[in-house]
Amino acid sequence: MHALFVTTSATQLTPDHPTGLWLEEFAVPYLAVTGAGIRVTVASPLGGAVPLDPKTEPNDDERQRWAPALHALRHSERLADVRDAWFDAVFLPGGHGPMVDLVTDTTLQALISRHDGAGKLIAAVCHGPAGLLNVRRADGQPLLSGRRTTGFTNAEETLSRLKDVVPFLLEDEMKVRGADFHSALLPLISHVEEDGHLITGQNPRSSQAVAELLVKRLTTR
């Protein structure tokens, strides 16, 4: 088994708001997947070291627990170099970075469309679904159309005090693409949706649940 983790390369949401990957959303699934014996390739639009959102810099305990994940983030592959490879799953962690670069990345869109057509697992958490917004299925319809999904909600964006900073509201844009969007009754509670081979998690606290479901699906196929 082999999974592709695609992260952002973006470092700025706006000139006044640095951004990047939200570490928990990568580290928790990475350790779960690799711990299950599944090989992981990490890729990003630019390749190289993956930027972390300053708000998610690890403390000493996290640096120790997440050391293998942090090491993997130092040397990501360039997405264009792996675009023609086949993986058993593609996973998009969040942070606000995907709203800057993954949302318009045509290489990513083509890769995910191909994997969707083959029935391969596709997963995303928090703002990771931004990378799915402009993906089209083989019939030309949006990837998200009619699919039960979740992602970072408008209420959560408001609580993060970035509602007026982000380029768009993820929940709204997922609904525009026809997504059957669902969320937890309260903000910032773990919530995961599964629709066929598509898995989505609502927020950082959903990282563990997404990881467990991803491992379960990969190891029981």
Condensed to tens digits (0 to 9), the pLDDT of residues 183-215 reads 999 999 999 999 999 999 999 999 999 999 999
Q: What's the average model confidence in pLDDT over 66-75?
A: 96
Decide yes or no: CATH 3.40.50.880 for domain 2-219.
yes
Rounded Cα gap, residues 195 and 208, in angstroms? 18
Q: Which residue type, as a one-letter code, is found at position 84?
A: D
Across the strands, what pairs with 40?
Answer: 3
Q: What's the average model confidence in pLDDT over 148-171?
A: 96
Condensed to tens digits (0 to 9), the pLDDT of residues 110-128 reads 999 999 999 999 999 999 9
For the chain, the domains span 2-219
Is pLDDT of 221 > 70? no
For residue 170, what pLDDT is reported?
98
Q: What's the average model confidence in pLDDT over 41-58?
A: 96
For residue 220, what pLDDT is reported?
86
pTM: 0.96
Q: Which residue type, as a one-letter code, is found at position 30?
A: Y
* Contact yes or no for 153/202 (Cβ under 8 A): yes
Condensed to tens digits (0 to 9), the pLDDT of residues 12-48 reads 999 999 999 999 999 999 999 999 999 999 999 999 9
Q: Which residue type, as a one-letter code, is found at position 10?
A: A
Q: What is the dihedral of CA 80, 84, 86, 92, to 10 degrees?
A: 30
Count the Cβ atoms, other than its own, within 10 Å of residue 131. 28
